[in-house]
Amino acid sequence: MLSLTNKRILLGITGGIAAYKCAELTRLFVKAGAEVRVAMTQAATEFITPLTMQALSGNRVHLNLLDTEAEAAMGHIELARWADLVLIAPATADFIARMARGQADDILSTAVLASSAPTAIAPAMNQAMWADPSTQSNLEVLHDRHYHVFGPATGEQACGNVGLGRMLEPAELTELCAGLFETDFLAGRHLVITAGPTREALDPVRFISNHSSGKMAFALAAEAVSAGARVTLISGPVPLSTPDRVTRIDVESANEMQQATNAHIEDADVFIGVAAVADYRPAEISPEKIKKTDDVLQLKLVKNPDIISEVAALKSRPLVVGFAAETSDIVKNGRQKLQEKNLDLLFANKATDTFNSETIAVTAISPDEERELPAANKHVVARNMLQLIADQLNRSP
């Protein structure tokens, strides 16, 4: 499946008639999962409007190098840093020559020069201009600098000539761009991950909670994005930064986590219940701070929803992965949880070894086998966990 999930593409449009193809090209990029920002030369705006490109990309179009408002928001250097790929389409003979000379006199040429991302050009020009020794010499310079050259194609041109010089079609350019990235083993998949503890209020200032740091779930979210997945991270209260390109939803209680899960599970391919959801909550929440009066305070607790079991019981459900943080009989208790909750896969570990730690060792338990994942940094282990999850997805009918 063609996928550009989570990829950031800076599409540079220069002044050629083939600029009209950039509307369809942008639509295909977005459909393949990419985020697209557009930078246009002044000449390009004569062929296709910035308003059209803004509507299709969903982002403001960058036009001027010295735009005060743009520099305050995402300037040309930040735009260059943002991109995973820079594609110049169409790339006119003039712009190719400017790239070869290293010019930086407008927003697009400056972004190209400042970017360390892979850069590709899709040439589009008259067949005589393409064949001219100056153009071919400029292309040799770009080849030596490891720029990718997509095309051109042969065919009838706007001037009436026939020959090399037509810009490749949008579908072909989309495929070529996707091919520049390593194959991602979770490309195009949607993962919903729960993280951290929940807090169950006793009164306005006190709550019941646990020691979960959320680090394992956040590592899984970050590594899933790197593997090409779209990630929704539903997190209890933890002081962790949101991983890049992850959609984060903050919640407090188990009921809030249940509601957020229900709202996002419909199109999920995988649900990973990492959160240490409180098993019980106070039957009543005092509207005022509970005063210290008696030597003994009795609390009545009621069961919280079992979120992962509810997901596993759905008629049309994703692959369901659980975690078991145990203090004894780790594998035995983990397998029991796997069976009782009807999970597809479960990772069991010793609870006291993982809270607030940067490393973890787990046992992966499925209905058919058990596999040890030795102690390592949580990001390393997360990558191995996700590979096992991908293997399960590939075996699913």
End-to-end Cα separation, the chain, in angstroms: 16
Residue 8 neighbours by CB distance under 10 Å: 17
Query: Cα-flanking dihedrals φ and ψ of residue 197, to 5°?
Result: -90, 170
What's 41's DSSP letter?
-
Catalytic residue, from 159, 162, 171, 205: name it.
Answer: 159
3-state secondary structure of 337: helix
Question: Between β-strands 359-365 and 370-377, what pairing exists: parallel, antiparallel or unpaired?
Answer: antiparallel
The length of the chain is: 397
Amino acid type, 260: A
Tokens found for residue 5: 């999930």
Say what the alpha-carbon torsion angle 309, 314, 319, 320 is, to the nearest 10 degrees: -10
Distance CA 297, CA 8 (A): 55
Exposure string over 370-383, b if 16+ CB within 10 A, otherwise e: eeebeeeebbbbbb
The answer for residues whose C-beta is within 8 angstroms of residue 332's C-beta and 6 or more apart is none
Q: Is 159 a catalytic residue?
A: yes
Looking at 126-253, list the stretches that DSSP marks H as alpha helix, in order from N- to C-terminal side: 127-131, 133-144, 170-179, 215-226
Alpha carbons 205 and 183: distance in angstroms, whole number: 49
Which one, of 295, 288, 201, 193, lies nearest residue 252 by Cα? 201
Question: Which pair of structure tokens corresponds to residue 213?
Answer: 């740091």
Query: Among 20, 38, 73, 351, which Cα is nearest to 216's?
Result: 351
In 303-377, alpha helices (H): 307-312, 330-340, 351-354
CB 346 within 8 A of CB 334: yes
Lookup: tokens for 108: 């697009």
Question: How would you class 4 by CB atoms within 10 Å of its CB: exposed for 0-12, middle for 13-18, buried for 19 or more?
Answer: buried
Q: Which residues are catalytic?
A: 159
